[in-house]
Structures are given as C-alpha cells and as structure tokens.
Amino acid sequence: MGVNSGASAIKNFLQINPIAQNLKSTKPNSTINTILSHLEAGCLKKAVSLLFSSPFPFDLPLYGRLFQLCSASRAIVEARKVESHLISYYDPPPTFLLNRAIEAYGKCRCLQDARELFDEMPHRDGGSWNALITAYAKGGFPSEALGLYLDMNRSGVSPSEVTFASVLGSCGVLLELGFARVVHGFVVKLGYGGNVIIASALVDVYGKCDEIVDARRMFDEIDRPNAVSWNVIVRRYLEVGDERQSVFMFFQTIRAGVRPLTFTFSSALVACSNRQAVLEGVQIHGVVIKYRHEDDEKVATSLIDMYMKCNDVVSARKVFDQPGVKDLLSWTSMVSGYAMAGRLKEAQELFDKMPERSIISWNAMLAGYVRSGQWEEAQSFIFKMCLNIYDADGVTLNLLLNVSAALSDIEYGRQIHAYIYRHGFESVIYVKNALFDMYGKCGALRRARICFHNMSGQRDTISWNSLLNSLAQHQMNVDVITMFREMQKETTPNEYTFSTLLAACANIFAYSQGKQIHGFMIRNGYKIDVVSLDALLEMYSKCGYLEYALKVIKTAKPGDTILWNSMIIRCCHHGKAREALALFDLMKEIGVKPDNVTFQAVFNACLCEGFVDEGKRYFDAMINDYGITVKLEHYECMINLYTRYGAMKELGKILKMPFKPTVSMLTRIFDACKVYPSPRLAMWVAKKLNKLNQN
C-alpha cells in the first residue's frame, strides 16, 4: 500500500537522497513574500508552484493556511505539493498539519490519498481519525466511515463531538437505526448530549429512520435549537408525511426568533403544497418577504410550486415574473405547474421559451401530456425529446412506458425495455414497475408474468397494485381477489389497492368480500379518500345494498359533491328515484353544495318516476336558490321530462331557452305532439324540422 501516492514517493526519495536539505536559498524571505502576495491575490496555484523554490521549511501556520485553501478550492494537485514540501522539511511533521492534509484530500474526494497518508502517519491523534472518518462520510462512503469509527474505538482513541457528528450523518444515510441508538448512548455517556450540533444530528437520524416520535423527543431536549435544528425537524416531519406538524414547526421557528434557512422555507412550502394549504402558504410567503428572501431563486421556486399545486396559477405567475428569480429551476417549476394543472398550451409555450432545459424540464412537460392523457401530443413531444436529450433517466423511461402502455404499443414498449436493459436501469424498482405495468396493460400477460417473477424479492405495493389493475382490466375479477391475499404476504396495500379491489368485487357482485374489505380498511386505519369511497359506494350499490351505500356516503366530506352526484345517478339506475330525491334533500341538510351535474341527476330521477311537478320545482330552485347557470343538458333533461309525460304547456314555456334546440330535442317534441295533441307546438316544431331537412 502507499506506493502510488505522490507524497510518499517523494518522501521515500528524500529519505535515501536528502539533497534538498543541503540546498540553500539566497533570499528565503523574498520567496515567502511572493508566495504570500499570490495568496493575497487568491492565486493558490501560483503560490504553490513557488513552494519548492524555497528549500527551507516554512512556518507551520503557512502550511495550515495552504491546506485550508486547497480544501476550499478542491485543488488536489496543490494539496499533494504542499504535503510533499511539509514532509520534506519536517521530520516528523506535526500531526495537526497532516490532519489538515487528510481533510484537504477528503474535500478533493481523493480518499485514496487520505487513506494512505493516514496509514503512514508516524503518530495519529483523534483529529486524524476524525479527518478520515469525515472524509469517508462526506465522500459517499458511509459504511466505511462507520467501520473506521469502530476501528477508532478498538484502538483506544476516544471519539469526540466531531466524530459523533460525522458518524451520525452516516447512520442517517444508511438508515442504521440500531447503530445510531448505540452511538446516542455513548454520546450521553461522554456528556455531549447538550451539544446542539450532535443533538440536531440525532434528530436527523431518528427522523430519517422513520422514528419521528424519537426525533421530536430529541428535538425537545435541545436547549436552544438553532436554524439547522429547526430545519431538520421541519424537513423530517415533511418526509414522514406529517405536513401539518412540518408547517407548525416552521411557524414555531419564527416564534422562537430564529431566522429560517432557505431550505426550511422550501420544506415548509412543500408541506403546504402537499396539504393544499394555500392560506398557510401565503403566510409563509409573508415571512419570505419579511426576511428578504423574495429574490432567492430557490425560495421563489418553492413558492411557485406551492401556488401551482394549490391551483393558484395567478400568484405563481406573479412570483415567477419578479425580477431576478428566473433560473432553470423556477422555469421548470412554472412549466411543471402549468403542465400538472392540465394547462398544456401555456406549459408548452413557456417550455419553448426556456433559455435552457434540463432533463427534468423535459420530463415535466411530458408528464403533463401523460397526466392529461393527451397521447398523440405526448408522442410528438417524445419525438422532439429524442432529438434533443441524451440523458434520459428513470423518470423519463417511466413516462415513455406510460405512453406505450396507454397506446397499447407493445413494439415501442419493447424498444424502451431494450434501452432500460442497455443503460442499466433494470435495477431501478420504479422503472421495473412501469415496465411490468406496460406489459400488463398491453395485454402481454406472459411477458408481464415474467417481469413480475423477476422482481421477486423487491416487489413493493406499487408492483402489486399494478398486478391487480392488469387483472381487473382483463376482467379476471376473481383473480384480483385471490392475488390480494398473496399480496398481503409480501407487502402492505394502500388506498389505490382498495379501489381496484372493490371494483372487482362490484363486477362480480361479491358483497361479502367487498364488505370484508371495507372492514379491513376501517380496522387498519386507512384513510378513505374520494376514490376509495366512490369504489365503496359502487360496490354496495351494485351488490344491491343501496341502504348501506347511503349510510357510507354520509361519512363523505361536504366538498365531495361528485360522490353525491354519482350516488344519485346510481339510485336512478336501480329505479329508486325516491331515494335519489331523498339523497338530494340530505345533501341540503348536511350542507353539501349541489352543482350542475347534481341537478342533471335529479332531473333524471324525476324522469324515471314521472315527477313532473317536482322536476319543475327543482328546475326553478336550481336557478333561483342555487344560482346555477342553466346548461343545454339541463334543458334536455326537462324537455325529456315534459315530452314523456305530456306536460305540453310547460314544454312550450321552456322552449324559450337561450339555446338552439337540437335535432333530437325537436324529434322528441314532434313525437310528443302526436301523443298529446298540441297544434301550435306541432306547427312550430314541424317548421323547424323541415328547415333542417332542406339544408
């Protein structure tokens, strides 16, 4: 070991041939002055190049300063030269300076150099261990860092606060909860529990390991949390999905009088977007302005994102149009916002104007087309994309697979599969999931089965949901229910699982299974969102248990008008118009606001049972009490009602509508006139129809 290190080669050379020590410079002071003036001018390279024109040792602080500069500018070549000079003229060189050298190598990500120097040091102290452990931890080798920490303990060197900080960071990366707990004990034993940096690191590890309660307990133990501590707790709450607490802790930061970091703003704003909490988002915007962060691109990006995800496009645009916030990120965010809001024209326009684009910008735009199901547009966008990018990533491949699945284009899907194989994306679980999903949706069940089998050992909830979906899509309803049992042996279902499952139950009228699933959801505390609630209603209604569905719908949120609408429609399908109308009354009682679709459904219910007077009353109420603009569809319903039951007088009145009657309306009126004689109306409609026929 160590033969490849430049520094050690020179050292070996000097040991057998120490001519350097015999050289004498005529003007040592002039050399050092030139070096200092280069450093003053910020020119590290020039300063270092002059080192060896002085065959004398320099003062120790100069080496220290040089190493620090090398660290800061990641100058590996210079760091090696400084080390050479140091070990040439000091024997032995002071340990603290070699520690600085290890740090410099670490910062330059030359872990090999750091390790060799460490191994060859004649005398090591705790600082040397710390420098190397930090180098590994920060250089992306957390397990090596932990290994070194164990070596350190074995060699009898006591860890310090610095050691613990790095070690806890590595535990966080590796999700080594057990290791972290042991370290925590040691921290307390050595009396470092009050150190805010270590305490924050502990909060971070516990949070990352999903132990948010312990994280919070640790946080509460900190005497005076600083900006980083607050940042950590806000972030960790966000990442475990407790957005409410995340936002709450953000405002606590302000109350504690701590100025939040820009990162903290971003986290809190993401938390707001996830909860659609625009009011809190606006408050955070206020804090942004108070702390003069408005023109920080990163904060602005988070603001744009928050407003976009809360459907406030105007405010998002306002932030974006502020001077000085436009960068790649905020452009991308804006495009993504438009795209995800389904405003693809605006998204594409902005995308075309972007001064530069990253793969994420391309993905964002494509995701918009995919989300809105605009497959043809997606295809032509992909064509352009292929000509312009060379760095497709996992997300790109996912989207491409979604497109080929939607178009059932298995040929294209296979090509993407080949690309995935060639570029080593096969190990990425979400790419695999999308691939499997594609084969399933294209009906290539044999290929899908192979994919699913190949994924054994790393299948997650999404893989299983995909399987259930593809079975459901092929009407294999019984298999959906069977495979759900298999799924539970391997992973836990989520809300999406249940909507598929309940739909399968509904298709085969499997009431008892459906009911069991409902019970399962309740027992296991799944939140029943609009989609699964709708699936439940559908299952109970289809299985003929309307009363039960009615019981369930009362647990819906007042905002979910759609659920009530589809429930009213379902009642009509079962010929239960009275129940449908009762539902409408119940809506009023509970405070659910009906919309135009609700009234269409209500009119249809009246049509089923021949409730002409009620229909007219509801129609008037829609206009006068609810202020809903009457659409052509509503007139259609009313005309159906009046023609079917011969309410010719009302029919005549309603025809003064602000729309041109459609052909089907006219035909229906004409037919009604034959059953319920109404000469004037007959004349009017005959004229209209004739005119149409002539044209």
Which residue ranges make up the site for DNA (CB under 7 A)? 60-61, 64, 96, 99, 103, 126-127, 130-131, 134, 137-138, 160-162, 165-166, 168-169, 172, 195-198, 200-201, 204, 226-229, 231-232, 235, 261-263, 265-266, 270, 298-299, 301-302, 305, 328-329, 332-333, 336, 340, 358-361, 363-364, 367, 393-396
* Helix, strand or coil, per DSSP, at residue 504: helix
C-alpha torsion sign, points 334, 335, 341, 344: positive
Nearest distance, CB of residue 161 and DNA, angstroms: 3
Specify the residue for token string 């070690």: 167
Q: Which long-range contacts (CB under 8 A, 24 or more apart) does 578-581 make?
A: 578/609, 579/546, 579/550, 580/605, 580/608, 581/605, 581/606, 581/611, 581/614
Nearest distance, CB of residue 515 and DNA, angstroms: 38
Specify the residue for token string 């910020």: 42
**Structure tokens belonging to residue 43:** 């020119």
User: Torsion over CA of 357, 363, 365 and 369, rounded to 10 degrees?
Assistant: 160
Q: 286 with 322: CB under 8 angstroms?
A: no
Measured from the CB atom, the residue of 304 and 467 that comes closer to DNA is 304
Measured from the CB atom, the residue of 118 and 464 that comes closer to DNA is 118
Measured from the CB atom, the residue of 130 and 470 that comes closer to DNA is 130
Q: Is 420 exposed, middle or buried (0-12, 13-18, 19+ CB in 10 A)?
A: buried
Q: What is the Cα–Cα distance from 196 to 198, expressed in whole angstroms?
A: 6
Measured from the CB atom, the residue of 147 and 652 that comes closer to DNA is 147
Measured from the CB atom, the residue of 370 and 606 that comes closer to DNA is 370
Q: 398 with 367: CB under 8 angstroms?
A: no
Measured from the CB atom, the residue of 462 and 521 that comes closer to DNA is 462
Q: 2 with 116: CB under 8 angstroms?
A: yes
Residue among 216, 168, 173, 219 at smallest CA distance from 196: 219
Nearest distance, CB of residue 163 and DNA, angstroms: 8
Nearest distance, CB of residue 112 and DNA, angstroms: 19
Measured from the CB atom, the residue of 354 and 586 that comes closer to DNA is 354
Nearest distance, CB of residue 63 and DNA, angstroms: 10
Measured from the CB atom, the residue of 258 and 550 that comes closer to DNA is 258
* Helix, strand or coil, per DSSP, at residue 125: coil
Measured from the CB atom, the residue of 98 and 448 that comes closer to DNA is 98
Nearest distance, CB of residue 379 and DNA, angstroms: 18
Per-position DSSP letters for 587-605, written without gaps between them: HHHHTPPP-HHHHHHHHHH
Nearest distance, CB of residue 26 and DNA, angstroms: 27
Measured from the CB atom, the residue of 272 and 505 that comes closer to DNA is 272
Cα→Cα distances 106→28, 71, 72, 113, 311, Å: 32, 8, 11, 8, 46
* Helix, strand or coil, per DSSP, at residue 353: helix
CA angle 564, 567, 570 (to 5 degrees): 155
Nearest distance, CB of residue 397 and DNA, angstroms: 9
Nearest distance, CB of residue 417 and DNA, angstroms: 18
C-alpha torsion sign, points 49, 50, 56, 62: negative
Nearest distance, CB of residue 229 and DNA, angstroms: 5
